[in-house]
Structure 1
Amino acid sequence: MISNQQSLNLSPFMAIYNLVVPKDNMLRQINDLVDFTFILEELKTKYCLDNGRNAVPPIRMFKYLLLKSIFDLSDVDVVERSKYDMSFKYFLDMAPEETVIDPSSLTKFRKLRLPDEGLLDMLIGKTVEIALEKEIIKSKS
């Protein structure tokens, strides 16, 4: 199984999220209530487990694509906004001071890990379904 590759975040700045990302923020609610580990199961055949350096965690890469879809942003724009939008960083499980990915990484992730267009749609659909069940969002639009 792919490990989540995310260890306990020991940044001294993590508490800032409690000040700047309100509890009713949609991204905070989605992040807090949706268990994204289903992504690991869906993508386990797409990663080599014993070769090369650790990839950016697949859940984080998927969340970038989810942000792209929710906010109708380009790869470049979603990465740029992730540099300064604290709700994006919170959603991506990043420390406030952590650097973002290169936008080309999203293209590679889509082409190498999600070559089947239906897989991305299914993963986004499953996330929306969970968010609807938890009443974080009200409609499928």
Structure 2
Amino acid sequence: MLSQQHTLSLSEYSSLYDLIVPQDNLLRKINDLIDLNFIYEELLSKYSPDQGRVAECPVKLFKYLLLKVIYTLSDVDVVEPSRYDMSFKYFLEMLPEQGVINPSTLTKFRRQRLKDTNLLDLLINKTVSIAVEKGIIRSNSIIVDATHTLSKSNLVSAIDVLRERSKPV
């Protein structure tokens, strides 16, 4: 079940963000200038409207994936700094004292909600185009991690090659 309603969370420690995260911080700029609410619309069909428990916010999960790409981190390595790195917490719109997700949630999000690789490409492309529009990204080239991208170059799996080569001649 997907809920688009953000609950207004108040914390006496929220003012720490203004003291710790500088105005020119990349994550602060992205968070302040880019509205990622289009992710709700893109992922609406991937969630059941009336079954199951309330899902983790897809915008937050997508932001975790963006952090993974920006800082070249694994699922575990991106969640751990979000416990104490105030720029990560600000970017993820978390309260300073708020706990973090389990790293396996990111894996489930990719496998269950972003099964369609074109959807992930669409979300990244939209985010990058908005960032270019707002002047956050000034480079003419973008490097994308293609680890989970399907390729036609290896038509035979490594195991099949080994099986074939291990056959007696």
Q: Answer whether TM exceeds 0.5 for this pair.
A: yes
Matched residue, 1:136: 136
Q: Deviations over 1:44-84 (max 9, x none)?
A: 00111111221111100111011111111100000011111
Q: How much does 1:131 deviate? A: 0.8
- TM-score for the superposition, normalised by structure 2: 0.80
CA contact (8 A) 1:14 1:96 kept: yes
Tell me which protein shows more helix as a share of its residues. Answer: 1
CA contact (8 A) 1:4 1:58 kept: no
CA contact (8 A) 1:4 1:59 kept: no
Moved more, 119-128 or 98-107: 119-128
Work out the CA distance in 1 between the residues paired with 2:118 and 2:81: 27
Q: 1:1-141 to 2 correspondence within 5 Å?
A: 2-139=2-139, 140-141=141-142
Q: Between the two proteins, what is the percent identity of the paired residues? A: 61
Q: How much does 1:104 deviate? A: 0.3
Unaligned runs of 5+ in 1: none
Task: Give the greater-gyration-radius structure (CA).
Answer: 2
Work out the CA distance in 2 between the residues paired with 1:122 and 1:66: 13
Which amino acid in 2 is paired with 1:34?
A: I
CA RMSD in angstroms, aligned pairs only? 1.4
Which amino acid in 1 is paired with 2:137?
A: I
Q: How much does 1:3 deviate? A: 3.2
- TM-score for the superposition, normalised by structure 1: 0.95
Unaligned runs of 5+ in 2: 143-169
Q: How much does 1:14 deviate? A: 0.8
SS at match of 1:118: helix
> Which runs of at least 4 in structure 1 moved beyond 3 Å after TM superposition?
none
Q: How much does 1:4 deviate? A: 2.5
Which amino acid in 2 is paired with 1:23?
A: Q
CA contact (8 A) 2:3 2:55 kept: no
Count of matched residue pairs: 141
